[in-house]
Each structure stands twice: as structure tokens, then as C-alpha cells.
Amino acid sequence: MAMARRPINPSRRTSETGVAPFASSLRSRSRSHPYLPTALIIVVLELMNFSAEWKVMTLVVSHKSSAFPVSMSCTLESGSDFSCTVEVQRAIPILKMAYGDSMHRVLHVGPDTCAVVSRLLKEKDTEAWGVEPYDIEDADRKCKSLVHRGIVRVADIKFPLPYRAKSFSHVIVSDALDYLSPKYLNRTLPELARVSADGVVIFTGYPHHQKVKLVDKVKHGRSAKLRSSIWWIRYFVQMSLEENEGVIKKFEQAAVKRSYNSNCQIFHLNSYR
């Protein structure tokens, strides 16, 4: 009489073949659900995209106002904090190469303006002032000294700036316009153009940036609105502000020469005539 065969333990069988039980289970399930592995891969990739461990992402800059030629890519640490005000300090040598000696009386508008002003003052034949849109109670001694000397002012940029028309050769703004609603943006941008004689340079975040070091929402009253280059270009046309094509080209050339890659959108505008 033949003896009944003892059922084989699935885990034992897989261990003998060198295949992990979990992998075998997935393989058997994949036969009944052919789309499951694809779905799992997509989920994993999406998680990796937003993980802080996903170190590098590529940004393709495709509009003419950028610091780069069309289709030139740059890399940034997506898991690290950054601000466009910090980017201004990195870009100062490139800006000086693009604008030349005409950039000699500069007003910076934005948070941490003391740092930008201090950096600009180190440039040869350059005078600099700043407008800090937010509270500076925690500012260091050097910054408070700039405020005491009248070089840096604390002012709400939703209202007219405390300067006469064409007081500065150029105005640089960073990490400030992103927090303004269209209502106040319509007031502030013309003011920046009014007090500049030779141009306005705007540093603003990319909409793709999920983690940006920006000033506390409590100080702004609202979250940042990171707008696309298409939105900005249309807005400039609406406000009768023209982009400076000559400077854009020079800035792109200088950026390539100095291997400068920007983490922010940069726009170069002519002042009102």
C-alpha cells in the first residue's frame, strides 16, 4: 500500500532553492496581478523623488529670462534649504560682469538684506543700501549698525518706498515678491522700477521647489506663491516692463564662464523711462 506524501512546507522549499519566501510570494502574486509590480515601482520612485535622501534633481531652464541658455540644466540639493537672498550673494560677481560699471548704486530689497548690502559694499566702486521688509529684532550688531547709519531701512514694501525716483542705478529684490498677492504686487513692482535708473533684477523661487528656506509665515501673513516663468513674463508685459535682452545675454555668458548655476529664477528688467 502506497504511503501518502507529506505536504511540503513552502518556506522550507524556498529556502532550499535559495529564493526568499517573500520574493516567492511576490512572484506568485504577480502572476495573478500582472500590473502590481509596475504599480509598486511607480510608488517607490515617487517616494524617492520626495525623500530627503534623493539628493539631486535636474532643472531644465527654458525661458529667455533665465541665467542660462535654453535647455541648459543645473543641479541642486533638493533636500537642503536655500533662499534666493543667499543666491543674490552668490550671483553678485556675475551681475557685475553683466552690468559692468553701471551697477554702482544698488538697492537690495528682501529679508536678510544686511548680508547682501555687506557683500555689495565689498565690491569696488559700489555703494549699497537695503530695505528689510520684516522685523530685525534678532539682527546681529553689524546689521543694527547698518540700520543706525541709515544704510538699511525697515519698511513695508506694500507701500511706497522712501526714496526719490531714480535714486539707484539698480534695484535687486529677492524672497519678497513671492509673498505678495497680486493686489500688492501691482503696487510694489512699479515702485521698484520707479526708484531705479538702469534696471531691476528679480530673484524668485521655482514652482518646483518643495523645500525653500523662506521667512516665517507669521511675518508675511501668507505662504509664498512661487510662480512660473510664463506667469512672470506675462505679468511684466501687463505692467509695461521690458526685459533687458542685452544684459540677459551677458549674464548667461558670464554664468557659463564662471560655472554659475542658479537655484532661483532671475529676471532682468529695464527701468521705466
Asked if residue 206 belongs to a domain, the reply is yes
Asked if residue 63 belongs to a domain, the reply is yes
186 with 80, same domain?
A: yes
Q: Which H, E and C letters describe the chain, residue by residue?
A: CCCCCCCCCHHHHHHHHCCCHHHHHHHHHHHHCCCHHHHHHHHHHHHHHHCCCCCEEEEEECCCCCCCCCCEEEEEECCCCCCHHHHHHHHHHHHHHHHHHHCCEEEEECCCHHHHHHHHHCCCCCEEEEEECCCCCCCCHHHHHHHHCCCEEECCCCCCCCCCCCCEEEEEEECCHHHCCHHHHHHHHHHHHHCEEEEEEEEECCCCCCCCCCCCHHHHCCCCCCCCHHHHHHHHHHCCCCECHHHHHHHHHHHHHCCCCCCCEEEEECCCC
92 with 27, same domain?
A: no
CATH of the domain at 245: 3.40.50.150
148 with 213, same domain?
A: yes
Asked if residue 119 belongs to a domain, the reply is yes
205 with 178, same domain?
A: yes
156 with 244, same domain?
A: yes
| N-term to C-term CA, the chain | 108
Asked if residue 82 belongs to a domain, the reply is yes
117 with 200, same domain?
A: yes
147 with 35, same domain?
A: no
194 with 121, same domain?
A: yes
Instruction: Tell me what pLDDT residue 219 has.
Output: 53
244 with 144, same domain?
A: yes
Measured distance CA(97)–CA(101) in Å, rounded: 9
Check if the beta carbon of residue 266 is closer than 8 Å to that of residue 202.
yes
Full pLDDT tens readout for the chain, 273 residues = 444 444 444 444 444 444 444 444 444 444 445 554 555 555 444 544 444 333 333 333 334 444 333 323 333 333 345 689 999 999 999 999 999 999 999 999 999 999 999 999 999 999 999 999 988 778 899 999 999 999 999 999 999 999 999 999 999 999 999 989 999 999 999 999 999 999 999 999 988 754 544 445 545 556 678 899 999 999 999 999 999 999 999 999 999 999 999 999 999 999 998
Check if the beta carbon of residue 67 is closer than 8 Å to that of residue 59.
no
Instruction: Tell me what pLDDT residue 136 has.
Output: 78
97 with 212, same domain?
A: yes
**Range(s) of the domain holding residue 143:** 56-269
Count: domains in the chain: 2
65 with 108, same domain?
A: yes
Asked if residue 255 belongs to a domain, the reply is yes
Asked if residue 7 belongs to a domain, the reply is no
Instruction: Tell me what pLDDT residue 21 has.
Output: 45
18 with 91, same domain?
A: no
Instruction: Tell me what pLDDT residue 10 has.
Output: 45
Asked if residue 258 belongs to a domain, the reply is yes
Asked if residue 6 belongs to a domain, the reply is no
